[in-house]
Each structure stands twice: as structure tokens, then as C-alpha cells.
Amino acid sequence: MINQQYACYQTPIGCLQMGYKGDTLVALKKAEAEGDNGNKTPLTEQIYQELLEYFEGKRQRFTFKYRLNGTDFQMKVWQALLEIPYGETSTYKAIAQKIGNPKAARAVGAANHNNPIMIVVPCHRVIGSQGKLVGYAGGLDMKAALLQLEENFIHKMTPEGKESLPSK
């Protein structure tokens, strides 16, 4: 069994810590403070580059290998999160209904809170039923910034979902 290692990178939304085992990302979270950068590898460099492309509006999906570990319920919630399109939102209640447990909105919130791979598994796209931003492990400021980033860039896409070329 390979022990989890980590690397930290500074991004436009703060310092992010990547936990990995071998060639697989197993955790991505906001680092509490800058400090030890950990062990940077070709995998963490790829993750960092793809995250930067996401922050620049050039990437909607990630290609690196990752693995989620959780309960059956958490796995259902996280799978539902992966199905929320870039630039769109859903609610905790809608996710609960989607996974066949319509009264589990609070449990969906708990699963979101325990999402080990923020941004990639887009728990930031889940909002309260009244349209309010509620709960996010990275803080509500980070959640708002991610949603705003996606909203800004989605309008620059063509109807086919491809990036439009900048006008000269």
C-alpha cells in the first residue's frame, strides 16, 4: 500500500493541497496556510496546470486520474455532482431527489462537506433551495468566486460548447 503524499500550489483562489497515491489524486482541498510545499511530481504539475486552465476559463473537465473513497451514499452524491454541467447549479434538494432519497437534502449537504476533491467534483455548484450560497469547505467567498468564474466563462462559449475565438 502506497502512503498518501501531498503537494501544495498557489492558485488564484489561494493555496491548494493535493493528496495523491502513486499516479492518482485522492484529495484536493484548500490549504490552511502556505508553508511546506510537499513533494511535487509530474502528476501534481499536471493537476496544477489543468487547474490553472480551469481558472483561466480554458478547461471544463479534468483529465488526470482521481479516486473517491466514501460511503455508498456519499459516492451517489458525488456522482450526481459530476453530472452538474459547468456554469450551472443545482440544489441540495434536487440532488437528494436525483439519487432517489428526496428527504436527504441535509445528508447531501454533509456529503458535499466531505467531498475529498473540491473543484474537480464540483460541490461548489450546489446551492440552497432559495438560491442562496450555503456551506462550502473552502468558505463561501471561494464558492462565490468559483461560481462567478464559471458564469463569466460560460458566456464566452459558442452554442456547441466550444470556446469562441477572441476577436481581434
Q: Which residues are catalytic?
A: 123
Write the burial class of residue 24 (CB in 10 Å: 0-12 exposed, 13-18 middle, 19+ buried): middle
Torsions phi, psi for 91 (to 5 deg): -115, 165
Task: Report whether 44 contacts 18 (CB < 8 A).
Answer: yes
What 3-state DSSP class applies to 163? strand
Report the distance separating Cα 140 and Cα 135, nearest Å.
Answer: 7
| DSSP 8-state assignment for residue 5 | E
Instruction: Give the strand pairing for 14-21 and 5-11.
Output: antiparallel
Nearest CA to 76 out of 127, 50, 115, 41 is that of 115
